[in-house]
Structure 1
Amino acid sequence: MMLLSIAKKTRTLLMGVTSSVAGASEVALGMLLSIVSSRLVPCVPAKDRARDSLIVCPSPLLDQQIVNPAFRGHYVISFVNSACLSPTFQTLKPERMFLIDPAFFQDHPAGDEVMNSGVERTLARIAVATDWPMSLMIPWHYRHSAIVKWIQANPNIRIVGLPVCNARSHNKFFKKLGLRLGVVNPVYQNVLIAAVFYSLKAGHTRTLIWGGHHNWLAEVAVDGHNQVLHSVRHSGEQHVGVPLVDMDGSPRLYHTYLRQLATVFEQYHVIRDYTRGTGQVVLNATAESFIDAFERIDSISLFSPKRDDDDHKQSL
C-alpha cells in the first residue's frame, strides 16, 4: 500500500512538473514570436479604444435586420470570414476584417466544393469591394503568401499579422500569465475566437458579438456511407447535407469534429475567465446562439435610431 501511495504521489508530481514545463515553454515561445513579429500589444488609438467593438459573423441576420448607418459611429467594427459577402459589408465599412483559417491562404486548397467556392468569393470580395481604409487581420506566418500579396494590390487594405501561439497547456498559472502578457492566445480553433481576443487586447471595454450562432450540431448528421454532413447557413445562403472534409480532402470523422467543436466552446470560457478583473466584458447579441460563455443582449438595440451614449448603454 505504501509503495502504491508513493507511486501515485510521484505520478502526480511528474504530471505537475510536465504541465509547468509545457506552460513555461508556451510562454517563452510566445514571447519570442511576439518579439520577432514586433507585436506584443495592438497599437490602437485611444479614440477607437473608447468605442465598443462590434464583431459581425456570417449570419442570415445580416440580411434580415435593418441597419441604420447613422448609428454605426458607436463601434469599431470587425467582420469575420464570409460575413463580407453580405451587402452590409459595404454599408458598415468595417475597420477590421479577420481571416484565420488556413484554407484562405493555400494556393489550391483541397476539400469540398462549397468550402472552396466560399473561400474564393470571400477573398475576391475583400480585394475588390473594399474602397475604404481597412485592416485585414491574418496569422503572422501567412503574411507573405501569394493570396495576401494579391490582396495588397488594393491600397485601402492594410495587412496586420497576428502572432499565433495557442495556449494548449493545462497549467493555469502559465496560461494566465501568457494571456495577460499577450504572448499566448486562446486556441484559435475558429476566427471568432481570434477576433474577440484581439478586441480585448486592443483595450475595448465592451466587445459585442453579432451573428455568432455556432449551431453546427443542430444541423449535423451522418449518412449511410459514414460521411459527416452539416448544413451551412451563412448570409442568406444555405447548403444542406454538405460532407465535412479536412484540408487534404479526406472525410472528417465524427469524433474528430466533436473534439474540434468542444475546443471552440471551451476557448470562449477561457476568454470569459481572462476578462475577470480587467473591467472588460464580452456580450453576445445573437439570437439562438449556442455560445454559453457570455451574457446575452438584444441585437435590436445595436442599430437603433441614434441616441446619446448613456441611453444606448442602458438599452444594452
Structure 2
Amino acid sequence: MLEAAFNSISQFLGELFKSLLSLIKVVIRGRHRTRLPARQLPVCSVLGNGPSLNESLTEHFDFIRRTEMVCVNNFAHADIFLRLKPQNYVISDPNYFVFTEQTTDRDDIRRTLSVFLEQVNWPMTLYVPHFAKGSYLLGQIERGNPQIKPVYFNYTVVSGFQRLTYWLYANGYGMPQAQTVIIAALTLMINRQFETIYLFGADTSWHEQIRLNDQNQLLIKQIHFYDKPSDVKHEPVYSDKFRQRTFSMASQFLSLHKVFRGYEVIRHYADSRGVTILNASAKSYIDAFERAQIANTVPSK
C-alpha cells in the first residue's frame, strides 16, 4: 500500500513537472499558434509512403479519391501523385528546410520541389512546421506556384496532465511528439475535425529491414511504395554529422518505441475529439487503431 501511494505521488509530480515545462514552452512559442483550414469533406485518407500503399492504391483507388487526401514527405515522387491530386500535403522532415540551391546531396528534396513548382496545377494546402518559414524551399514555393498554400503548424512538443495537453493540441499551441510525419498529419487532421480518418500505407515495418554488419554498424533498408526494391540497399544510419558513428541498436528500438507510443497518444486524443481513425493499410504493425476492411462502396460526400 505504501509503495502504491509512493508511485501515485511520483506519477503526479512527474506529470506536474511535464505540464509546467510544456506551459513554459507554449509561452515562449505561443505566437506561433496553428490555424487550420476547414475540412472539405467529412472523411479523409492519410497516405503513408510504406510499400503496402501500392496494393491499397490498386484495390481502393476510387475509395481514396472520394475522400479528402493527405500525402506526406516524398510522395510527389510517385507518378500516381498527379492522378490523385491530393488536397493536402504534410512535410515535417527538417532536412527540407535547411535545403538550399547549393545543397548537393539531397536529390530527393530537389525532385519534390520540382514537382511542386512545375506540375501541381490544382489547389493544394502544404502543412509545414513554423520553423520552415523563411526557408529556401518555402520561398521557392510561395513565389513559384500560387496554387500551393502553405499552412505553418506549431510543432511544440507538449505533455503532462491529459486535460491540459489535449487543450493545447486542440488550440494549436502544441503537438504530441511526432516521431514520424504520419503522427503530425493525424494530429492536424484530428484538429480539422474529420469524422473518420482512414490510414493507408502505414507499414511501420522498419525493424524487418535492420541489419548489423561486421563492424557493428547499424544498417537499414528504407523502402517506399514509389521505390524499385532492386534499387534500395541497406545503408548505415549515422548518428553524427561527420558520419563516423551509426545509431546503436538500443537507440534504434527506443526510436521505434516512440513511434508506436505516439500512435497510442493519437488514438486517445482522437477519441476525446470524437474522431475515428481506422487503419486500412494492407500491411501494418500499428495496433493502436482499429483495422478496417474497405468495402467496394465509396464514402458519401
Give yes or no for contact 2:202–2:283 (8 Å, CA) kept in 1.
Answer: no
Q: CA deviation at 1:143?
A: 1.3
Q: CA deviation at 1:59?
A: 3.2
Hey, what does 1:289 align to over in structure 2? 284
Hey, what does 1:93 align to over in structure 2? 85
Structure 2: distance between partners of 1:200 and 1:121 = 30
Q: CA deviation at 1:76?
A: 1.0
Hey, what does 1:165 align to over in structure 2? 156
- Say if 1:69 and 1:231 are closer, same or farther in 2 by CA, change over 3 A: closer
Q: TM-score, normalised by structure 2?
A: 0.84
CA offsets 1:88-107 (integer angstroms, 9 cap, x no match):
11111011111101111113
Q: Match for 2:238: what amino acid? A: V
Q: Match for 1:75: what amino acid? A: T
Gaps of 5+ in 1: 311-316
Give yes or no for contact 1:20–1:174 (8 Å, CA) kept in 2.
Answer: no
Q: Among all aligned residue pairs of Structure 1 and Structure 2, give the percentage whose two residues are the same amino acid.
A: 21
Q: Larger deviation: 51-60 or 139-148?
A: 51-60
Q: CA deviation at 1:193?
A: 0.3
CA offsets 1:80-137 (integer angstroms, 9 cap, x no match):
112221111111101111110111111369xx96xx3433323333333211111111
Give yes or no for contact 1:54–1:75 (8 Å, CA) kept in 2.
Answer: yes
Aligned length: 290
Q: TM-score, normalised by structure 1?
A: 0.80
Structure 1: distance between partners of 2:236 and 2:181 = 21
Give yes or no for contact 1:143–1:159 (8 Å, CA) kept in 2.
Answer: no
- Say if 1:70 and 1:265 are closer, same or farther in 2 by CA, change over 3 A: closer
Structure 2 residue corresponding to 1:51, chosen from 42, 51, 74: 42
Residue 242 in structure 1 maps to residue 238 in structure 2: no
Give yes or no for contact 1:59–1:83 (8 Å, CA) kept in 2.
Answer: no
Q: Match for 1:158: what amino acid? A: K
Give yes or no for contact 1:84–1:125 (8 Å, CA) kept in 2.
Answer: yes
Q: Aligned-pair RMSD on alpha carbons?
A: 3.0
Structure 2: distance between partners of 1:83 and 1:308 = 23
- Which SS does the other structure have where 1:232 is aligned? coil
Matches within 5 A, 1:1-316: 16-17=12-13, 19-30=15-26, 33-34=29-30, 36-39=31-34, 41-45=35-39, 48=40, 50-64=41-55, 65-66=57-58, 71=63, 74-107=66-99, 116-152=106-142, 153-167=144-158, 169-234=159-224, 235-238=226-229, 239-246=232-239, 248-250=241-243, 251-299=246-294, 301=295, 304=296, 309=300
Structure 2: distance between partners of 1:202 and 1:308 = 18
